[in-house]
């Protein structure tokens, strides 16, 4: 049974780098029994249960909590600078919290590649940040802290509304593009000696604009948002942003996960429709779960949208080793 989980663990890493999910070849016996019971279930009864479960509109508990945290963190930077409080100095890319250096992992990597040597202050700042994000869950940074995530989420709602009116359609691209962008930006820093990505990163641009005031670079962010509304849903985060991949790698060993429980799942896929990275939810497709309980892969941003949306409570936040004690 351990093999099933190890196989899934490595598979989820490959999926994060761009591989498309495949039907699992090994499934635990207990999961096979549940899949079989579901195949034998009366279809009319199942459909009635799905309709009944969907009668009540779902809440937005996790989304609201997340938005509150994201806005608080970003405003804290702005307020600290505006009132010269000196508790938190700098911007998201590089800051000092009560004297401690905190540096965005991707930015630190870019700087070291550009300078072609290991900078001690950066290593100290990066280690602190790395430990924080390993504990909190890698891409948690994306959905709970990154200011671009929030505006892109609003743009996504506009895209979905326009798509429902058949005004736009979502153009899919290869997810492997993000890995290529990661390599290209790393090589660009190495070759030019400049942190090329930082000058076009909407995360950094928005963070600096909030703290020091708007600049022309915001036009680039606006162009990205327009592209996402009119052409490709969440294109920057899905297909381009190297920050997401860096934090995804950090989250591989994180204890904070979304846990999927097979038993009560209807397999109607509501969770996949709201998810920024629906490939991590392949396990909800009928017959795909390799065990009765599985953790979602490291590309999950722990945004909680699926947790809010699931009508059966089959998706929940989980802290490995702690949840059973709580
Ligand atoms: S799986 Fe759920 S928590 Fe993870 S990114 Fe998708 S919607 Fe958010
Ligand atoms: S886990 Fe997804 S597919 Fe299963 S019931 Fe919940 S929303 Fe539906």
Long-range contacts of 72-80, Cβ-Cβ distance < 8 Å, separation of 24 or more: 73/144, 73/145, 74/145, 74/147, 74/207, 74/210, 75/210, 77/207, 77/210, 77/211, 78/210, 78/211
Ligand 2: residue whose CA is nearest its atom 6? 310
pLDDT of 264-291, one tens digit each? 999 999 999 999 999 999 999 999 999 9
Q: Is 292 exposed, middle or buried (0-12, 13-18, 19+ CB in 10 A)?
A: middle
CA 210 to chain centre: 22
Report the 10 Å Cβ neighbour count for 13.
16
3-class DSSP assignment, residue 288? coil
CA 301 to chain centre: 2
Can you list the residues of the chain whose pLDDT is less than 70?
A: 1-2, 323-326
Closest among 142, 163, 179 to 273, alpha carbons compared: 163
3-class DSSP assignment, residue 272? helix
> What pLDDT is stored for residue 102 in this prediction?
77
What SS3 string covers 61-120?
A: HHHHHHHHHHHHHHHHHHHHHHCCCCCEEECCCEEEECCEEEECHHHHHHHHHHHCCCCH
Residue 296 CB–ligand 1 contact under 6 Å: yes
- The number of the ligand 1 atom at minimal distance from the alpha carbon of 281 is 1
Residue 277 CB–ligand 1 contact under 6 Å: yes
Spacing, Cα 322 to ligand 1 middle (Å): 20
pLDDT of 97-149, one tens digit each? 777 777 788 888 888 888 887 777 777 778 888 898 999 999 999 999 999 99
> What pLDDT is stored for residue 152 in this prediction?
98
Cβ–Cβ < 8 Å for 326, 75: no
Residue 58 CB–ligand 2 contact under 6 Å: no
> What pLDDT is stored for residue 324 in this prediction?
58
Q: Record the pTM.
A: 0.91
Ligand 1: residue whose CA is nearest its atom 1? 300
3-class DSSP assignment, residue 318? strand
Question: Encoding tokens for residue 230?
Answer: 């009119």
Cβ–Cβ < 8 Å for 122, 111: yes
> What pLDDT is stored for residue 1 in this prediction?
61
Spacing, Cα 274 to ligand 1 middle (Å): 8
Spacing, Cα 219 to ligand 1 middle (Å): 29
Query: What's the rounded Cα separation, in Å, for the pair 128 and 145?
Result: 16
- The number of the ligand 2 atom at minimal distance from the alpha carbon of 264 is 5
Q: Which string of DSSP letters, residue by residue, matches 156-194?
A: HHHHHHHHHTTS-------THHHHHHHHHHHHHHHHHSS
3-class DSSP assignment, residue 320? coil
> What pLDDT is stored for residue 28 in this prediction?
96
> What pLDDT is stored for residue 69 in this prediction?
97
- The number of the ligand 2 atom at minimal distance from the alpha carbon of 313 is 6
- The number of the ligand 1 atom at minimal distance from the alpha carbon of 315 is 2
């Amino acid at each position: 049974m351990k093999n099933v989980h190890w196989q899934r663990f490595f598979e989820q890493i490959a999926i994060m780098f761009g591989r498309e999910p495949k039907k699992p070849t090994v499934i635990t016996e207990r999961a096979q029994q549940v899949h079989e019971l579901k195949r034998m279930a009366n279809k009319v009864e199942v459909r009635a249960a799905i309709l009944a479960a969907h009668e009540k509109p779902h809440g937005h508990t996790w989304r609201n909590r997340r938005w509150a945290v994201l806005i608080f963190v970003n405003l804290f930077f702005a307020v600290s600078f505006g009132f010269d409080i000196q508790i938190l100095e700098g911007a998201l890319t590089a800051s000092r919290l009560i004297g401690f250096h905190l540096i965005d992992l991707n930015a630190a990597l870019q700087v070291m590649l550009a300078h072609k040597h290991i900078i001690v202050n950066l290593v100290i700042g990066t280690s602190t940040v790395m430990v924080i994000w390993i504990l909190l869950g890698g891409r948690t940074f994306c959905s709970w802290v990154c200011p671009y995530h929030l505006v892109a989420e609003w743009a996504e709602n506009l895209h979905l509304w326009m798509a429902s009116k058949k005004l736009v359609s979502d153009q899919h691209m290869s997810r492997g593009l993000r890995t290529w962008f990661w390599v290209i930006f790393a090589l660009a820093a190495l070759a030019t000696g400049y942190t090329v990505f930082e000058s076009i990163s909407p995360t950094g641009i928005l963070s600096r604009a909030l703290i020091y005031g708007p600049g022309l670079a915001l036009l680039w962010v606006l162009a990205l948002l327009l592209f996402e509304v009119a052409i490709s849903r969440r294109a920057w985060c899905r297909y381009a942003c190297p920050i997401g991949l860096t934090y995804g790698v950090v989250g591989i060993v994180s204890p904070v996960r979304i846990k999927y429980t097979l038993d009560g799942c209807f397999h109607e896929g509501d969770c996949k429709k709201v998810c920024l990275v629906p490939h991590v939810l392949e396990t909800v497709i009928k017959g795909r779960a390799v065990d009765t309980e599985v953790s979602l892969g490291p590309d999950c941003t722990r945004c909680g949208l699926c947790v809010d949306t699931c009508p059966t409570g089959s998706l929940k936040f989980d802290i490995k080793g702690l949840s059973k004690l709580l």
